[in-house]
Structure 1
């Protein structure tokens, strides 16, 4: 029996914006419980790749498989009913944490966490509230349940966003530069929550330039360059002397 089944598998993924081919045939896979950090220079396709995994962006070609749900990515502008069903199922099994938090400003922290389970999964409000409180406590914000986002710091907003993602009971969480909008003093609280999730076996794909997190927590580093996967290796090799000249140039630019 395969002890580490593939949770995400991407083959030949392409995405074009007008004349700009952003993803040029991406191939990689993620096993259950893995933490994969996606790094690379600006414009290399990192965020587009992440958003393609739950079809916030519609790829033009290739295949995406998430939790054994396979989608062929041709003709997604007019998808069949079966393809639409598969995309909905993938979205129910994944959650995404955005760079800009994307919280509802008119809802309290607890209401933000409750919204998905109640409106998407039909969970009763009392049950969703109880789970929401537990999740806010898990991310260190149990005392902020009744606060609105406007009264929270950036780091607190991002931790609410992580609690909101967890409320959907996902099998995979996608993180799109979750600390890049935060002051350095606020980043560590968010990274601590992410380390805790990794320690509990959550499958995570993380677009980030947080080198210490990548060194300490990632099982693998996927290095994007020019719309393709240029490196796919363990942190020791990626950050070590054996890395490629292109990787070393990138690491010098981000100050490692």
Structure 2
């Protein structure tokens, strides 16, 4: 159990929430300098409302990325600080995710397009898309560097419970992670990882290590990509 007696949640669920809005990630980053209260965040992060700031801190606390530094009797606006896992996630977002995000914004794929709110979609859009498609992250993680054909991809999909080749392969191509550079035969199209796909694969491997460590504390067992579709919060209608 996490703080306030609430059930703990996975790193993937927390990451999905952080990447939903730029203000959420900025709010999380504000804890790097020193411990803060939820009420501190609205004045430090433009566009982050008081109620949303409190929800953000609660979610990060349940994922063991933040920890309370004052007794529970102090109420919901108590002082919180980064845990070791929280500090590690911030390092990953800074050193591994940021270069990927920059590359995404330079591509011609959907990740480089406008998100409808005046900003480019970037790496956050890709990670959240992968989290929401059962099996997509697992398939990307195990994909080889060399070219493959659709029949091979279908065989890999059969080993991932709940995954669909008809859903996962188009998604990986839409995200610009897999490209189709040439044809071997009119019925056997050749696919391979793009540079963006290789960088995303590396990022996911690093995040999976942290997720495994965190879930050992939360659940007593590793938590793999393929379970995440059941853990992610539904997208709000306003998102």
In the superposition, the TM-score normalised over structure 1's length comes to 0.29
In the superposition, the TM-score normalised over structure 2's length comes to 0.30
Could you say which structure has the greater relative contact order, defined with CA pairs below 8 angstroms and 6 or more residues apart? 1
Higher relative helix content: 2
